[in-house]
Amino acid sequence: MNNRLRNFLLGIGVSLFSLSASASTLTDAEAENAMATESKVEKTEERESLFPNATRNLDTSHFTWGAEFGASIDLSGYNTSTFNVDAVLGYKNNYFRILGAGVGIHRSLGTGDNFIPVYGLMRTSFSSRPRLFFLSLKVGYSFNTIGDSPTFGDTNSQIGWGINLAMSRKFQSHIILAYEFRHFNARHKHVLDDKANDISLATISFGVNF
């Protein structure tokens, strides 16, 4: 009787051990298959261009570039209001939306005068966290063609506040309201008026950065 009971219990133990080993084998196989599938998915997601080894995702890069469209209203009464198109590029991180340079073509629709500013650019919210507003500062040199005069250059600067419209991993859009200042030296001020040393403008622009 004891031998029969012992053999019966031994048989049950062997069966349970076999089932456990089978389940463990299946679990390991399923885990390996899941890891292989995840690896394939990751490799597929990493490829975001035709040449993945030659380019880098802009959402992980410190390089940024963008374009802006806007208008400047002459507050000094010299009829130099312009329609503006600008391109910018530079460095970005958590504190700086952009730290770089830009160039623009600002054309007066009324007189046909042209202003081509080349400038250094800084935009920051003074915080590593996303903010609604940011400071925009430009300082540079403008190549001007006014009336029949030859092209000449003078200083140009702008300071204003920007408002974020939309932000994502791929792009950022904004509106900037700014005060723009154009300075004419003694050799060039006669082009507009003998008293036109400085011109003040109110500027509004819409831009997108990538």
Are residues 158 and 101 part of one domain? yes
Are residues 189 and 100 part of one domain? yes
Are residues 62 and 42 part of one domain? no
Q: One digit per residue, pLDDT tens: the chain, 210 residues?
A: 555 555 555 555 555 455 455 545 545 555 556 555 555 444 444 433 334 444 444 557 889 999 999 999 999 888 889 999 999 999 999 889 999 999 999 999 878 889 999 999 999 999 888 788 999 999 999 998 887 778 888 899 999 999 999 888 788 899 999 999 988 876 666 666 655 678 899 999 999 998
- Residue 94's domain spans which residues? 58-209
Are residues 80 and 24 part of one domain? no
Is residue 181 a part of any domain in this protein? yes
Are residues 104 and 8 part of one domain? no
Are residues 161 and 79 part of one domain? yes
Are residues 26 and 67 part of one domain? no
Are residues 137 and 88 part of one domain? yes
Q: Can you tell me the distance from the alpha carbon of 157 to that of 138, in angstroms, rounded to the nearest whole number?
A: 5
This prediction has a pTM of 0.69
Are residues 36 and 73 part of one domain? no
Is residue 53 a part of any domain in this protein? no
Is residue 154 a part of any domain in this protein? yes
Are residues 188 and 90 part of one domain? yes
How many domains does the chain contain in total? 2
Q: What values do phi and psi take at 79, rounded to 5?
A: 60, 45
Are residues 64 and 34 part of one domain? no
Which CATH number is 99's domain given? 2.40.160.20
Are residues 104 and 84 part of one domain? yes
